[in-house]
Amino acid sequence: MTIPLITFSGLATGLDTKSLIASLVDVARQPIYRLEYNQKNLESQSERLTALKTKLETLKSAAEGLDAEDDVLAVKATSGNEDYFTATAAAGATTGSYNISVTALANAERTYSDPFASATQTGLVGTGNLQITINGVQTDVAIDQTTDTLTTVMDKINASGADVTAGLIYTGTAWRLSVTGNQTGAANAITFTEGGSLVLNLDKLANQLQAATDSTFTVDGITISRSTNTVSDAIPSVTLNLEGVQSSGSTVLTIDRDPAAVQADLQTFIAAYNAVMTSLNEEFAWTGEAKGPDSLSGDSTLRSLQSRLRSLVGQTISGANPYSSLSMIGVSTDKYGIMSLDATKLTAALAASPSDVVALLAKSTSGGTDGIMAQMSAAIYEYTKSSTGLITAKIDGIATRVADMDDQIEQMEARLDKYEETLQAQFAALEALVSSLQGQGSAMTSILGSMQNND
């Protein structure tokens, strides 16, 4: 009698358990994938909101550049001859002209030592204490000819803290030590006192190349002296930089309105405003296709921001007639909210009625309505201020949600790791069982085969 072989179909050890486990784990990972997808969308929103906030802060800064009377009434200083002086005017300078004549420039003292044959040989300079006194401040420099040379004396002076700079000059036949005051003006004259056997002779009048002197100039015939060549207290809000002595006559300094500066500031504002509006328009634009999950097109905060900005630049300011709106000074806006400037109109408005342009743009100094730039700065602050700003709070809220999702993902990954370990253990047990059954099957087959042979 023939007995069939015993087999266990489908339980062979060649089963790809690794792929099976990977597939099962991937199915279980789907909730993590969804969280990561949502995170990516939130991070995209955060990046665009942060970029918008930066543009708003730039716009706020640009608005603040025109929110004060002095900003709108910018002035410039012009020298009739910059060989004699240059000038700059700050906010508050009074327009007008001045006749200026520079009769002397301020100088720092410069003195030389006697000549020496070498700058590096000891035994030449003598031994003693060198006193350097400037404006009542005395500095002592100890010199020893057994160790000091002209070079080390220079180094000691520079390291002493005295308000001077020492150097070396080679004439072609000899070396001389130079000492120059760091400050101009007669009050900064240097007094040298050489003790002991010092032979530098810095105190010799013949060795003084340049005395410390004040600058002297006249403004409309009035003589003025200062210790420097940069003078900021002779004419209020005007800085004079004295360049050269005028041997005769005078040079006209003109302080005048600077419409070019106002135009540049307004162009900066317009560029910043347009950057914000372009970003908002891109968020809200309809392209014919459905918006992605990271879209901000339905965000009420951004919608209100766009509306607020358009309202601010389109308003009329009472008390600024006839220049009561931006359009009256050359600022136009297209259907997308993008602005442009007609510089000719702006210049004409500043020339015709600067006070009205101030009222249109700047903060009110009389308790009336603030101008557009002042209002713009205040409005943007409500969106960008720390913690509680409308856009700042959105960005912070997204950061919190993303962090929470990170925590969730971390916890889910930990559970998934345990799930994978469980699957591996289960499949390992299955493989062990299959292997055992196959072993038993082989043994039974062998026994039955032996029984057949015996028959």
Residues 186-205: tens digit of each pLDDT? 999 999 999 999 999 999 99
- Answer yes or no: do 185 and 243 share one domain: no
Indicate if the alpha-carbon torsion angle 378, 311, 64, 370 is positive or negative: negative
Q: Is residue 54 part of a domain?
A: no
- Answer yes or no: do 116 and 182 share one domain: yes
What's the pLDDT score for residue 63? 97
Is 102 in contact with 246 (CB distance < 8 Å)? yes
Long-range contacts of 31-39 (CB under 8 A, 24+ apart): 31/412, 32/409, 32/412, 32/413, 32/416, 35/405, 35/408, 35/409, 35/412, 36/409, 37/293, 38/293, 38/405, 39/402, 39/405, 39/406
What's the pLDDT score for residue 441? 67
- Answer yes or no: do 132 and 221 share one domain: no
How far is Cα 269 from Cα 61, in angstroms, rounded to an integer?
8
What's the pLDDT score for residue 444? 72
What DSSP element (H or E) covers 19? helix 17-28
User: pLDDT (tens digit, 9 = 90+) per residue, 366-407?
Assistant: 778 899 999 999 999 999 999 899 999 999 999 999 999 999
- Answer yes or no: do 92 and 157 share one domain: no
- What are the distances in angstroms from CA 2 to CA 5, 132, 438, 453? 10, 127, 21, 10
Per-residue tokens: 32: 């993590």
Q: Is residue 130 part of a domain?
A: yes
Strand pairing class (85-89; 238-242): antiparallel
How far is Cα 184 from Cα 205, in angstroms, rounded to an integer?
19
How far is Cα 36 from Cα 7, in angstroms, rounded to an integer?
48
Q: How many CB atoms lie within 10 A of CB 10?
A: 7
Per-residue tokens: 145: 């000819």
Is 303 in contact with 309 (CB distance < 8 Å)? no
- Answer yes or no: do 149 and 191 share one domain: yes
How far is Cα 2 from Cα 262, in angstroms, rounded to an integer?
111
- Answer yes or no: do 199 and 116 share one domain: yes
Domain boundary among 257, 290, 322: 257
Q: Is residue 6 part of a domain?
A: no
Nearest to 383 by CA among 394, 374, 372, 375: 394
Q: Is residue 36 part of a domain?
A: no
Q: Is residue 369 part of a domain?
A: no
Residues of the chain under the 50 pLDDT cut: 1-13
Q: Is residue 330 part of a domain?
A: no
Distance of CA 436 to the CA centre of its chain: 73
How far is Cα 300 from Cα 220, in angstroms, rounded to an integer?
63
Q: Is residue 382 part of a domain?
A: no
Paired with 225 in beta bridges are 216
What's the pLDDT score for residue 260? 94
Burial of 105 (0-12, 13-18, 19+ CB in 10 A): middle
Indicate if the alpha-carbon torsion angle 336, 340, 342, 348 is positive or negative: positive
- Answer yes or no: do 115 and 253 share one domain: no
What's the pLDDT score for residue 289? 72
- Answer yes or no: do 126 and 89 share one domain: no
Domain boundary among 177, 210, 243: 210
Indicate if the alpha-carbon torsion angle 419, 425, 426, 428 is positive or negative: positive
- Collapsing DSSP to helix, strand or coil, 59 comes out as helix
What's the pLDDT score for residue 439? 67
Nearest to 283 by CA among 4, 47, 80: 47
Q: Average model confidence (pLDDT) for the chain? A: 91
Domain boundary among 199, 233, 257: 257
- Answer yes or no: do 231 and 198 share one domain: no
Q: Is residue 381 part of a domain?
A: no
What is the total count of domains within the chain?
2
What's the pLDDT score for residue 290? 67
What's the pLDDT score for residue 432? 76
- Answer yes or no: do 86 and 152 share one domain: no
- Answer yes or no: do 97 and 116 share one domain: no
Residue 160 structural domain:
110-210
- Answer yes or no: do 98 and 219 share one domain: yes
